[in-house]
């Protein structure tokens, strides 16, 4: 049974049982604690924690996931993969343990003809929480045991385990509960009998049923936590590993051989000439290739681009490990153009967006491979230098810190270092390398824990949210009479606040826009008789609740008070102008660069906008001018700006643009400019027609990461002010240069040409002057340690002239062992040393002599034996530097 068919059967089973089908969220999800979605429940987390009320009683999904903590194990085990798919069913207000267990048993053991998966019930084992591990469950999860027995499982195939194995929590305060895991016995060929407690390779876990029924107040470890109280409503969260089920149902030994992955292995085998199954090391490399190519494809489809930080770095590592593995298989030519299309063909049935985004994805991937090939070329030079140094020192081992530097700084893979070192007759200090890698991982894990532990305590907000959402009235009203629902200080609800206090204020309704979608929060005031609050920021810490950060300037603020909330109208207009202009920039870029161009981030506030987008090269001067022209033409044409709410699928069918990783409900707000000219899903505020923007002035365009460009612009009055200042500057220059503004460019170009000619003439005269004094310099030569030494300080002489002079002096020293050492420079000192062939034969090396002199100048330097250069920052050290050279020759 193909993987896509298993996925379909799972979803059909639950949708036919009344579950709402929820499409997979983007791997790039709006969760600050995660780089990527790493579990099927992540898109539902806000429902489980109580931050949001679920819009359905029960749901099902097949969620794309990426985990990279065990990346080094990929290919070595049967089940470690970086990308995987998690089938799940979730109940929020419907069934609990009995329903979850019944559904799981019926689907797992149901006949294929009836839509089930057809596993033999006699090969099914389960685990549950055992007795004595938790005070709330003194008998363990006895209820789950009885339910499994009712399904027909004998007691000997229901194994009891501890909290580490059969209790689930998020690792932070929030929901938790016992779980029950379902295993399939693969048979004695895979290991000893005795169930999962004996061998989890033979008994393979395919499904985990989590019974959320407690709220945890502290979590110190998976088996060490404090329970605050029972959940008011128990909930179900399950996860079935699609790839694991696939390789069981397809009769394969591991996940890499299933139908969605193995064809990439076959292609890697074809390209390398290595047959899969002949050699264990080669097999691991092919499995790494197949896994990483698929993961890279899915990440790029969801908007990730290769880079040096966070998500981009993970993607870069996956792609480069693929290329590296193929290199170790003997393939030197580009491989991603051969491998990536194979993976695309395998995944597009389940995920049509792979085809929709293919042009952008393939362009990004192939450019990354070319970049890595250049990195490999540069890394090889550094490696060769390290090998030469080790051999010169008589060492048989390449130091671990050098291997780590190659890996960490230059992106040079360790296994490639090992292979090349072996070819050079050296080993690598793996212990030291492993130690340094361990330190790096420890730092990364500590950072991840810090981010995870930094989750905001939302208890106070959730309590205030229980009274209902905060209606946002700001689309139509900038002044609203409201009631103070609550006041929060340092995460706690308080009854009042006094002058000088900065607190968070929740109103029953508000005109203030909370920062989101790239738009800055509104400014303004909240007032009442004798009360004046300045609004500093507006956020939504939990879904549906608007929280105003305010400074109490006057009076006492109390819960329940009647107030007037007033948005700063001028600032709001500026924000509307900038936000609508951002939409125009997006549409203009897509018009210029193609529909594969997509938004990668934005920020707008009164008078300013920035817009990030995917591209592999910068805009030319002509394209920047074209972009500014298209944008301002749309402003002048006074396009009507409208918005409407409609189902998400309908909006997508109309071509509405959505942000990768942004979470959208079933009904969305679509903002349109001139109908179909621009359609975006957006919750922000806008002008009613584009002419209200007035003017957009492009500040610039540049790179903000691999494959990501940024446009910045000023809007409205700020744009006019900049044009005015530029006009004043042009007028001043024209007056200074005695020309007309439209002739300014020609005038400046002529001046530059004249200046360049004058500089060339001056340089020629300076060189003639220096060479005229060569005779005196040659006459100043002294014998030091068997060498004829010319050593002079020539302050103010530029480095290029100094080099020319040194070479001329060396020639004049003829065949005798001679050394020329000159120190000059303009703003900073420069030292140049040249040696004759006879001097080098006696052991004088220019690079070493520069190395001896440069520290006295406050710098460093080096070079070849015949000619070397160095520099520094302290010209007063010139006498000491020359003395150091003399001492080196005398010694």
Terminus-to-terminus CA distance in the chain, angstroms? Answer: 81
Q: What DSSP element (H or E) covers 548?
A: strand 545-554
Which tokens sit at 753? Answer: 């040409």
Which tokens sit at 467? Answer: 């009274």
Strand order across the 787-793 sheet: 782-784, 787-793, 818-824, 830-835, 867-871, 860-863
Phi-psi region of 797 (alpha: psi -120 to 50; beta: other; left: phi over 0): beta
pLDDT of residue 616: 75
Residue carrying structure tokens 């695309």: 344
What is the rounded distance in angstroms from the CA atom of residue 718 to the CA atom of residue 573? 13
pLDDT of residue 454: 40
pLDDT of residue 32: 65
Phi, psi torsion values for 472, nearest 5 degrees: -95, 115
- Note whether 187 and 226 are within 8 A (CB): no
pLDDT of residue 542: 87
pLDDT of residue 409: 67
What is the rounded distance in angstroms from the CA atom of residue 558 to the CA atom of residue 565? 15
**Contacting residues for 514 by C-beta, under 8 A, at least 6 apart:** 472, 521, 538, 539, 540, 546, 547
Task: Write the DSSP string, 758-786.
Answer: HHHHHHHHHHHHHHHTHHHHHHT-EEETT
pLDDT of residue 777: 87
pLDDT of residue 599: 87
**Contacting residues for 777 by C-beta, under 8 A, at least 6 apart:** 790, 792, 805, 809
The SS3 of residue 532 is strand
Q: Counting Cβ atoms within 10 Å, is residue 582 exposed (0-12), middle (13-18) or buried (19+)? A: buried
Cβ neighbour number for residue 422 with a 10 Å cutoff: 11
Alpha-carbon distances, residue 755 vs 61, 164, 752, 762, 800 (angstroms): 70, 77, 5, 10, 19
pLDDT of residue 406: 80
Q: What interhelical angle do 430-453 and 400-408 show, nearest 10?
A: 40
Series of mean pLDDT values for 10-residue runs along the chain (891 residues): 95 96 87 82 87 90 89 79 95 96 97 95 96 92 96 96 93 90 95 94 95 91 90 94 95 92 96 94 94 96 82 88 91 95 95 91 90 80 84 87 78 73 86 83 55 56 90 95 95 92 95 93 94 94 92 93 95 96 95 86 93 86 94 96 93 84 79 94 95 94 80 94 89 90 90 88 73 82 92 87 89 92 89 94 92 89 87 90 91 76
Which tokens sit at 516? Answer: 């989101």
Residue carrying structure tokens 């080196």: 888
- Note whether 697 and 726 are within 8 A (CB): no
What is the rounded distance in angstroms from the CA atom of residue 664 to the CA atom of residue 647? 10
What is the rounded distance in angstroms from the CA atom of residue 378 to the CA atom of residue 148? 60
pLDDT of residue 448: 45
What is the rounded distance in angstroms from the CA atom of residue 191 to the CA atom of residue 701? 60
Q: What is the CA radius of gyration of the chain?
A: 35
pLDDT of residue 72: 77
């Amino acid at each position: 049974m193909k993987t896509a068919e298993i996925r379909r059967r799972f979803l059909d089973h639950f949708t036919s049982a009344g579950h709402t089908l929820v499409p997979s969220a983007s791997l790039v999800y709006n969760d600050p604690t995660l780089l990527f979605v790493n579990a099927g429940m992540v898109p539902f987390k806000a429902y489980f924690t109580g931050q949001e009320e679920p819009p359905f009683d029960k749901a099902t999904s097949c969620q794309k996931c990426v985990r990279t903590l065990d990346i080094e194990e990929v290919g070595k085990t049967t089940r470690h993969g970086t990308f995987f798919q998690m089938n799940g069913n979730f109940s929020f207000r419907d069934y609990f343990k009995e329903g979850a267990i019944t559904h799981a048993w019926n689907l797992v053991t149901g006949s294929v003809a009836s839509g089930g998966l057809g596993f033999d019930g006699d090969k099914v084992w389960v685990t549950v929480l055992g007795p004595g591990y938790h005070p709330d469950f003194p008998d363990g999860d006895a209820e789950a045991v009885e339910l499994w027995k009712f399904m027909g499982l004998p007691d000997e195939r229901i194994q009891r385990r501890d909290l580490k194995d059969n209790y689930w929590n998020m690792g932070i305060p929030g929901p938790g509960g016992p779980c029950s895991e379902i295993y399939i016995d693969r048979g004695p060929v895979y290991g000893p009998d005795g169930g999962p407690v004996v061998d989890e390779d033979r008994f393979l876990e395919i499904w985990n049923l989590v019974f959320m029924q407690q709220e945890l107040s502290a979590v110190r470890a998976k088996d060490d936590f404090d329970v605050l109280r029972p959940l008011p409503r128990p909930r179900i969260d399950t996860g079935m590993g699609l790839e694991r089920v696939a390789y069981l149902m397809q009769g394969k030994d591991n996940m890499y051989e299933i139908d969605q992955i193995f064809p990439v292995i076959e292609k890697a085998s074809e390209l390398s000439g290595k047959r899969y199954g002949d050699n264990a090391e080669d097999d691991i490399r092919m499995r790494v290739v197949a896994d990483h190519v698929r993961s890279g494809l899915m990440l790029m489809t969801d908007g990730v681009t290769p880079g040096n930080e966070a998500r981009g770095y993970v993607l870069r590592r996956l792609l480069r490990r693929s290329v590296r593995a193929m290199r170790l298989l003997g393939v030197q030519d580009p491989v991603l153009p051969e491998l990536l299309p194979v993976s695309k063909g395998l995944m597009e049935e389940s995920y049509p967006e792979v085809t929709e985004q293919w042009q952008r994805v393939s362009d990004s991937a192939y450019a990354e491979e070319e970049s890595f090939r250049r990195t490999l070329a540069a890394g090889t030079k550094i490696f060769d230098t390290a090998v030469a140094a080790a051999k010169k020192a008589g060492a048989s081992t390449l130091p671990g810190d050098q291997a780590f530097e190659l890996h960490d700084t230059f992106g040079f893979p360790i296994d490639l270092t090992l292979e090349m070192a072996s070819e050079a007759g050296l080993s690598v200090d793996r212990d030291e390398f492993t130690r340094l890698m361990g330190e790096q991982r420890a730092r990364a894990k500590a950072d991840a824990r810090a981010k995870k532990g930094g989750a905001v305590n939302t208890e106070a907000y959730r309590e205030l949210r229980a009274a209902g959402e905060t209606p946002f009235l700001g689309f139509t009203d900038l002044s609203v009479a409201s009631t103070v629902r609550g006041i929060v200080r340092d995460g706690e609800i308080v009854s009042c606040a006094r002058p000088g206090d900065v607190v968070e204020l929740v109103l029953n309704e508000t005109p203030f826009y909370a920062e989101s979608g790239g738009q800055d929060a509104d400014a303004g005031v909240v007032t009442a008789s004798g009360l004046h609050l300045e609004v500093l920021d507006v956020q939504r810490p939990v879904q549906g609740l608007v929280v105003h950060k305010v400074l109490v300037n006057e009076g006492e603020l109390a819960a329940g008070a009647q107030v007037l909330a007033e948005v700063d109208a001028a600032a709001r207009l500026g924000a509307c102008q900038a936000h609508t202009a951002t939409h125009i920039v997006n549409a203009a870029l897509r018009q210029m660069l193609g529909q594969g161009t997509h938004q990668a981030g934005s920020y707008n506030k009164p008078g300013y906008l920035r817009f990030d987008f995917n591209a592999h090269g910068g805009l030319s001067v002509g394209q920047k001018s074209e972009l500014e022209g298209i944008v301002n033409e749309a402003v002048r044409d006074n396009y009507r700006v409208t918005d409407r709410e409609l189902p998400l699928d309908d909006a997508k069918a109309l071509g509405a643009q959505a942000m990768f990783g942004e979470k959208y409900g079933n009904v969305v707000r679509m903002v349109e400019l001139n109908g179909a000219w621009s359609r975006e899903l957006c919750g922000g505020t806008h002008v009613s027609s584009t002419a209200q923007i007035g003017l957009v002035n492009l500040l610039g365009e540049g790179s903000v990461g691999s494959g990501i460009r940024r446009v910045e612009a000023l809007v409205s009055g700020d744009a006019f002010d900049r044009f005015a200042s530029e006009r004043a500057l042009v007028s001043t220059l024209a007056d200074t240069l005695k020309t007309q503004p439209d002739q300014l460019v020609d005038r400046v170009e002529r001046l530059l040409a004249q200046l360049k000619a004058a500089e060339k003439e001056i340089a020629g005269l300076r060189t003639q002057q220096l060479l005229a004094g060569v005779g005196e310099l040659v006459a100043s030569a002294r014998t030091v340690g068997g060498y004829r030494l010319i050593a002079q300080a020539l302050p103010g002489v530029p480095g290029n002239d100094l080099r020319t002079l040194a070479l001329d002096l060396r020639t004049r020293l003829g065949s005798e062992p001679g050394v020329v050492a000159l120190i000059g420079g303009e703003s900073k000192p420069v030292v140049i040393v040249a040696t004759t062939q006879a001097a080098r034969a006696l052991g004088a090396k220019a690079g070493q002599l520069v190395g001896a002199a440069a520290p006295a100048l406050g710098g460093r330097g080096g070079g070849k034996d015949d000619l070397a250069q160095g520099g520094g920052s302290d010209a007063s050290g010139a006498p000491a530097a020359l003395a150091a050279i003399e001492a080196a020759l005398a010694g």
